Amino acid sequence: MAMPAALTSKSPAPSRVSLARRLGRSDGFVAAMMMLPAGILFALFFLWPFVSGFWLSFQRWDGFSDPRFIGFGNYLRLMKDGVFLLALKNSFIFVIISILAKNILGLALALLLNRVTFMRGFIRASVFVPVTISFVAAGLLWAWIYNPVFGLLNAGLEFVGLASWKRSWLGDANVALYAVIVVDVWKWLGFHAVIYLAGLQTIPSELYEAARIDGANARRRLWHITLPLMVPVIFINTILSLSGAFVRNFDIVHVLTQGGPNHATEVVITAMVKAAFTNSQMGYAAAMGYALFVLVGGICAILVYWLGRTRFKV
């Protein structure tokens, strides 16, 4: 006599079924499955290039022949490379001046915008316009302004009676780097001002009213109310301007000066690109990049640690 189908069919073990059901109903399992595509893309386009590039920094490779392992040779070479050390010095000057300018001017601009009532939307949008301009367009615009023959800056100086100040702003090694920094600050000032403006709008107006009743003038209100409450925003803007001035200044420098004259405006990023694509020194360029990565990461870690030691929290 034939056995019933229900008795002859093999059913999965109860433990396996319960385990599959538990995994299927687990929020963590569902979240992991949803993050899996992003994790694969992150590993493919970020983690793997990061690891392979780090391995490349220990090799000598021109981009065509087989790479040759040289250990820390590229990193030791960095310590003796005058162009790289000059580019590192220029990068630090770039960072220090741009951080101070972007934060001081950005906060001042935000305080001004916070008080404007006439055509408020139009004025705020106008301040943000330079941020939307591409680096190439901004570089070409300022190259015309700095032109020593028909540039607007020299013409303006001559018009106001300061003809002795006229010079080749991008051709003079003493001022070229600072001229490039001005362009970078001009482009990103509106971005940092908007962040400060958002922070100012979170400060309760009752604090200012109470300070006025107590007789505090504008300077005291700024020093004892605005600045302490804006410390987290200042920290965020500092980190953003720090990372931007170190690793996102290639376009401006390349369009305006290409690192010249005589490497006076050379920064680490432009030196790295020249080493890789002009001199075909891929491994050496990778070493420059990872040295810059460690430097910027260390500075950011110190700032985060300092913020954690204070009574202010982001």
Average pLDDT value for residue range 110-123:
84
* Per-residue pLDDT, 311: 53
How high does pLDDT run on average in the chain? 87
Return the closest-CA partner of residue 295 out of 154, 85, 77, 47.
85
Does the N-terminal peptide bond of residue 261 adopt cis geometry, omega within 30 degrees of 0?
yes
Average pLDDT value for residue range 45-62:
93
Return the closest-CA partner of residue 274 out of 294, 253, 291.
253
Q: How confident is the model at residue 24 (pLDDT cuts 50, 70, 90)?
A: low
Q: How confident is the model at residue 54 (pLDDT cuts 50, 70, 90)?
A: very high
Average pLDDT value for residue range 98-118:
90
Average pLDDT value for residue range 87-103:
94
How does DSSP classify residue 59?
Answer: E
* Per-residue pLDDT, 16: 54
3-state secondary structure of 258: coil
Average pLDDT value for residue range 167-190:
94
Q: How confident is the model at residue 1 (pLDDT cuts 50, 70, 90)?
A: very low
CA distance 300 to 240: 10
Q: Tell me the chain's radius of gyration from C-alpha atoms.
A: 28
* Per-residue pLDDT, 25: 56
Return the closest-CA partner of residue 84 out of 214, 273, 239.
273
Q: How confident is the model at residue 199 (pLDDT cuts 50, 70, 90)?
A: very high
pTM metric for this prediction = 0.84
